[in-house]
Structure 1
Amino acid sequence: MLEQVGITTEGFAWSGPLLSLLGSTLILFVAVLVIRALFTRFIRRTVHSMELRRKWLVQSRNGLILLLVLGLVMIWGEELRTLALSIVAIAVAFVVATKELILCVTGSLLKAGARSFDIGDRIQVKDFRGDVIDQNLLATTLMEVGPGKIAHQRTGRMTVIPNALFVSEAVINESYTDEFVLNVLTVPFKREDDWVAAQEAFLEAAKRHCEPFLNDARRYMTKLSDRRGLDVPSVEPRVTIHAPLAAEIHLVVRFPSRATQRSFIEQAILNEVFGKSNFLPKKLEDRRPQEEEVEGEEPAF
């Protein structure tokens, strides 16, 4: 009887700390949920910009998840350390099995530390290109932009890429300058086409469509250069010539635009230029001088 009572007493003594840990964990979960609800309500009431609101909602959610993880580690740290001594082999197998997840977390830390991009930026990673609409510890969600790597319209498809790609692949951020961006449009011509006239037409059209905001873009780039210590290129529209193949001439049209009007300005320039002319080669009559006849002169017999 006494032994049975002693065992029961030890059981209750062992379960006391466990109940305390479970209670602390429950309190932590409730506190995090309450804080998130308050943050969400505050952001939805005070932030009117849709882009900024989505950015703060994602950042607050990720911050609370990190807080929850740190709290759980602090609560269960002693038990985890005790348990880890006996499961080293299992831990090694777990690391091997979850290598991709670890790489995703590492990629998330890498992009956060390098500040590669933020919510709303347009990025390209490997063959994936789009606007960032969500990001967490494991994956980044893009609203696809295309088709291809030169178009600026959304396709309506969503792409979820693992953060492990950020460890091994380069990230191209097309929205690094935020408000105003520089766009590059490549138009191919055959060497015999009238590409000289096309070059003048593209330059004139780019200047006309960029004129309303060109001064604002110039001031913005100057301010950006002073703030970040960068040598920002000129925002003046320009058309340069490339000859990638012997039979082709490529006109590279570079022009500034607002970040939200890239596709609109590009299509306006193309429609204006090609709406006036197709720049086909001029037909030249190849006549020898001795075969030319004077107008009105009768041929001699």
Structure 2
Amino acid sequence: MWPSSFDFSVFSTSLLTSSLILLIALLVLRALVARLLRQKISSIELRRRWLVQSNNAFVLLLLLGLVFIWGEELRTLALSVVAIAVAFVVATKELILCVMGSILKTGARSFKVGDRIQIKDFRGDVIDQNLLATTILEVGPGKLTHQRTGRMTVIPNSLFVAEPVINESFTSDYILHVFTVPYPREADWPQAQKALLQSAMRHTAPYLDEVRNYMQRISLSRGLDVPSVEPRVTIQVPDAEQIHLVVRIPTKTQQRNQIEQAILSDVLIGEQALQDDTTANN
């Protein structure tokens, strides 16, 4: 369907007549020039060259004449085409952004199916991705929990154009997992720090050498410094009333939550047993 702004006078008799007159005039003039060249130029090669150049000149004159005759109508048609193109871009803006986001994340190799990612408030394991959207299985609640909630989230790829992506599965098989355990300032946090480190060492000992070799291979292939993989417990003081014990452990990507819960259970159950013994003795 033609837009309403298109002027159908392009098919008017006057314009068609003018175009026909121009064509006939140029054909007659071309025939006269060809006859004149054949009579005046005896050299076959030179005559052929002039005939070719004159033919090209007549074609150029024909095109210029048609543009001059149809100029107003062509301008109206061009404006209509531009208006349609602008309307199409505005109507499909989100789809275009989704396609651009898909190209961006593919070109940057931000993540792949199976990786755990976070973008804005969305966090989960990637289970599908296509040209328009990326599907994840939600992990939470919050940013520090590593269990699936059972909900599926479909993220439009347009988000990847303007928002940073956090890939929690950068090293694939093994990762360095970090979690925080808060303690009151007056509590026996040095003992808790020691218990956390002992538990972390016990749970990671069976595969610690394997993680160390894996990290060395990753570092060599990507040109990075080899990170230390030994479990560690560091101290942070967010305010005057609390001590945060920050635990970092190497673990298999799919077992981070299980190892974290096992370490916390060891320490907290041990503390509870110690408190019970103290209460009983008193």
TM-score, length-normalised on structure 2? 0.68
Which of 52, 64, 86 is 1:92 aligned to?
A: 86
Q: Name the SS for the 2:229 alignment partner.
A: coil
Q: Deviations over 1:24-82 (max 9, x none)?
A: xxxxxxxxxxxxxxxxxxxxxxxxxxxxxxxxxxxxxxxxxxxxxxxxxxxxxxxxxxx
Q: Distance in 2 between matches of 1:232 and 1:84?
A: 61
> Is 1:176 the counterpart of 2:170 in the alignment?
yes
Which of 249, 255, 262 is 1:255 aligned to?
A: 249
Which of 225, 239, 242 is 2:219 aligned to?
A: 225
Q: Distance in 2 between matches of 1:232 and 1:184?
A: 18
1:106 CA displacement: 0.8
Correspondence list, 1:117-266, <5 A: 117-266=111-260
Number of the residue aligned with 1:33 = none
Structure 1 stretches of 5 or more lacking a match? 1-82, 284-301
Number of the residue aligned with 1:11 = none
Q: Distance in 2 between matches of 1:182 and 1:190?
A: 26
The structure-2 alpha-carbon separation of the partners of 1:92 and 1:181, relative to structure 1 and needing over 3 Å to count, comes to: same
The structure-2 alpha-carbon separation of the partners of 1:96 and 1:232, relative to structure 1 and needing over 3 Å to count, comes to: farther
The structure-2 alpha-carbon separation of the partners of 1:232 and 1:162, relative to structure 1 and needing over 3 Å to count, comes to: farther
Number of the residue aligned with 1:289 = none
TM-score, length-normalised on structure 1? 0.64
1:88 CA displacement: 2.3
Q: Distance in 2 between matches of 1:85 and 1:93?
A: 12
What is the aligned-residue RMSD (CA, Å)? 1.8
Q: Name the SS for the 2:112 alignment partner.
A: coil
Correspondence list, 1:36-115, <5 A: 87-115=81-109
1:231 CA displacement: 1.8
Structure 2 stretches of 5 or more lacking a match? 1-76
Q: Which amino acid aligns with 2:237?
A: A
1:86 CA displacement: 5.9
Moved >4 Å (runs of 4+) = 83-86
